[in-house]
Structure 1
Amino acid sequence: MSRKLLVIGSFAAIYLLWGSTYLAIALGLKSIPPFILMALRSFCGGIVLLAVSGREIASASLGTWLQAGLCGLLFFVGCHGVLAFAQQSVPSGVAAIVLATIPFWILLIDLVFPTVRRPKPIALFALVPGFFGVGLVAWQNVKLAGISILPIIWLLASALSWSIGTVLSRRMSDQAPPTLLSGMQLSIGGVVLFALSWLTGEFDSFRPGDVSMISIAAALWLIIFGSVIGFTAYNWLLENVSTSLVSTYTFVNPVIAVMLGTLLLGEPFSRASLLGAGLVIVSVIVIWRAERSSDCARTRRSTEARGICHCTKPDSN
């Protein structure tokens, strides 16, 4: 498969599949406690990916496991666990909108702790319309749904946790293949989430026989599409595409989540929310173009000695 198709498919996974996971979480929470739901999502997805990795597991060093464990805690306990807990009192669309602050955290981290690929200034400015779009949709939903501020603070903290995990995971992307790395992070995060659900008493009140079919279907969707496919695509993109471009999924996810929440769960939506969604799309387009231009410039510089510009010729892989 060509690199171009892999990029398109991977972005489709984190744009569309991850956008639908907020609805799946809302449906899963109808009869499954939040930490148990996220533990099932992470641990089962991680075991599948570790099984697919096969003998590659033996090549992973102790240091790689430790770093993967730290990323797993940030991704799946600090972010997904808190997200599911907050979604007990927050509409799925609002949760996705608040998590759209992830690109701002990532850019801030990259500016404070620069790497080889620093974010372009235009990428930072391109986030401005998306920021106002997210704020507009969040304000509308908070006003209509009467949400308290505390769950919003939890969601902002979960966005920061995911951002730190993203930066750390990106910097260790050369230590293990994306599938293995994803499996390590998911399985470790899942184990900790199971422990957390036990410590909070969820297991005492959880009755597997009372779980509805719709919650089971939602959990399977989260495991297969949210974790196995989506998170593998995410780690692959972190290794092959600029982080600021990858982080645009957080602008698309709220649009998908709000649409699904409105259509299937009857969550509130308004013209102002539609305007906010339009601003989000503008940000994504501008960042795509900015990063595409940056990639082309780097390619020209690295190949001009041979008189080749891969940005102007079809992908032949």
Structure 2
Amino acid sequence: MSEAAALSRKQLLFYLLFLILMWGINWPLTKYALEFSPPLLFAGLRTLIGGTLLLVVALPRWRKLRFRETWPYYLCSAFLSIVFYYGFQTVGLQYMPAGLFSAIVFLQPVLLGLFAWMWLGEKMYTRKMIGLLLGFAGVAAMSIGGLTGGVSFIGILLALASALSWALGTVYIKRQSAKVDSLWLTAMQILIGGGVMTAYGSTVESWSEVRWTGAFLYDTLFISVFVIALGWLVYFKLIASGEASKVGSFTFLIPVVSIICSVLFLNERLTVNLLAGMALIVASILLVNARPRRLSR
């Protein structure tokens, strides 16, 4: 039986709500943490903690690790989904407001829909494509002219690179899911990715620049446990439960949460573009998840 059959509609809804909330909160929390730590060291530290927690959870299933056979999958997934995604993201947040940066990253569901069609054999029809484009238009509407703050060309490039690596990582994991245990894949990619970023960050940044305040520690632990360890477990479970492009369409809601939290807690301002963007996103989700009509003849 596949993981898809194991998820009830209530479980699916719960996982989606959890993921949207946690990954939406992640952006302003990360932006705040960068006041206390250099970006690469923080990116490495939070993923290393999250990966260690998942390693402890996975240890009772150690026979399913099969590291000699499966290490290439773990390594490739670690670089695409963790090192590149979090590395570009954490550095890029220094150049742009958290809400705006997260909005640009959410070109990812559009890329994921295209890649899933090209490499996973998922169906691509006009309604789905329009839905994906509407979702990105909604994200753009919330950011272009909707938020005040500097717009950096470097920041835009880093946001786009983050989106590309996330989409490629998701498709890669979906393709290789039958060859590796899902819990070990999640744990190892995060642990390897965290180790790589921590090691590289230690060579180009200084640990003496980290201010180990209570706020920074609480922020880091929350992100490590709920955003990274539990968030990635839930994300991969959702991807395994159905079409990657349909799950991706719901992630358009993540920048909505991010922007609202950024407005409330980071004093980032916005206009009525938020309402227009939310309407487009709702339309996007409905179109992507609606079943195409079968031809009567």
In structure 2, the residue matched to 1:84 is 90
Q: Are 1:129 and 2:134 matched, yes or no?
A: yes
In structure 1, the residue matched to 2:180 is 176
In structure 2, the residue matched to 1:161 is 165
Q: Are 1:104 and 2:110 matched, yes or no?
A: yes
Determine if contact 1:38/1:76 at 8 Å carries over to the other structure: no
Shift of 1:186: 0.5
1:73 aligned to which of 66, 76, 79: 79
Among all aligned residue pairs of Structure 1 and Structure 2, give the percentage whose two residues are the same amino acid.
25
- In structure 2, distance between residues paired with 1:211 and 1:141: 34
- In structure 2, distance between residues paired with 1:200 and 1:119: 44
- In structure 2, distance between residues paired with 1:2 and 1:257: 27
In structure 2, the residue matched to 1:55 is 60
1:97-124 CA distances to partner (integer Å, 9 max, x unpaired)?
01110012112223333x3433444221
Kindly tell me: are residues 120 and 215 of structure 1, through their superposed partners in 2, closer, same or farther at Cα, counting changes over 3 Å?
Answer: farther
Counterpart AA for 1:180: W
In structure 2, the residue matched to 1:206 is 209
Normalised to the residue count of structure 2, the TM-score between the two structures is: 0.90
Determine if contact 2:23/2:254 at 8 Å carries over to the other structure: yes
Look up the SS of the partner of 1:145 in the other structure.
Answer: coil
Paired residues for 1:1-317 under 5 Å: 3-61=8-66, 62-113=68-119, 115-141=120-146, 144-203=148-207, 205-207=208-210, 210-288=211-289, 290=290, 293=291
- In structure 1, distance between residues paired with 2:284 and 2:155: 26
1:99-156 CA distances to partner (integer Å, 9 max, x unpaired)?
110012112223333x3433444221112222222222221156x3132222111110
Number of paired residues? 288
Determine if contact 1:29/1:215 at 8 Å carries over to the other structure: no
Shift of 1:273: 2.9
Shift of 1:40: 1.8
Shift of 1:174: 1.9
Shift of 1:172: 1.6
1:226-280 CA distances to partner (integer Å, 9 max, x unpaired)?
0121100011111111101111243111100000000111101101233122212
Bigger radius of gyration among the two:
1
Determine if contact 2:111/2:164 at 8 Å carries over to the other structure: yes
Superposed structure 1 runs of 4+ greater than 6 Å apart: none
More displaced, 246-255 or 257-266?
246-255
Determine if contact 1:130/1:282 at 8 Å carries over to the other structure: yes
- In structure 1, distance between residues paired with 2:69 and 2:142: 42
Look up the SS of the partner of 1:223 in the other structure.
Answer: helix
- In structure 2, distance between residues paired with 1:125 and 1:160: 20
Normalised to the residue count of structure 1, the TM-score between the two structures is: 0.84
Counterpart AA for 2:220: A
Determine if contact 1:22/1:92 at 8 Å carries over to the other structure: yes
Determine if contact 1:119/1:244 at 8 Å carries over to the other structure: no
- In structure 2, distance between residues paired with 1:108 and 1:265: 34
Determine if contact 1:101/1:250 at 8 Å carries over to the other structure: no
Kindly tell me: are residues 141 and 282 of structure 1, through their superposed partners in 2, closer, same or farther at Cα, counting changes over 3 Å?
Answer: same
- In structure 2, distance between residues paired with 1:29 and 1:262: 17
Look up the SS of the partner of 2:37 in the other structure.
Answer: coil
1:174-217 CA distances to partner (integer Å, 9 max, x unpaired)?
233332221011001001111220232233x434xx22322222
Kindly tell me: are residues 108 and 116 of structure 1, through their superposed partners in 2, closer, same or farther at Cα, counting changes over 3 Å?
Answer: closer
- In structure 1, distance between residues paired with 2:109 and 2:7: 28
Look up the SS of the partner of 2:107 in the other structure.
Answer: helix
In structure 1, the residue matched to 2:3 is none
Cα RMSD after superposing both structures:
2.1
Counterpart AA for 2:75: G
Kindly tell me: are residues 249 and 197 of structure 1, through their superposed partners in 2, closer, same or farther at Cα, counting changes over 3 Å?
Answer: farther
Shift of 1:93: 0.6
- In structure 1, distance between residues paired with 2:154 and 2:281: 25
More displaced, 132-141 or 69-78?
132-141
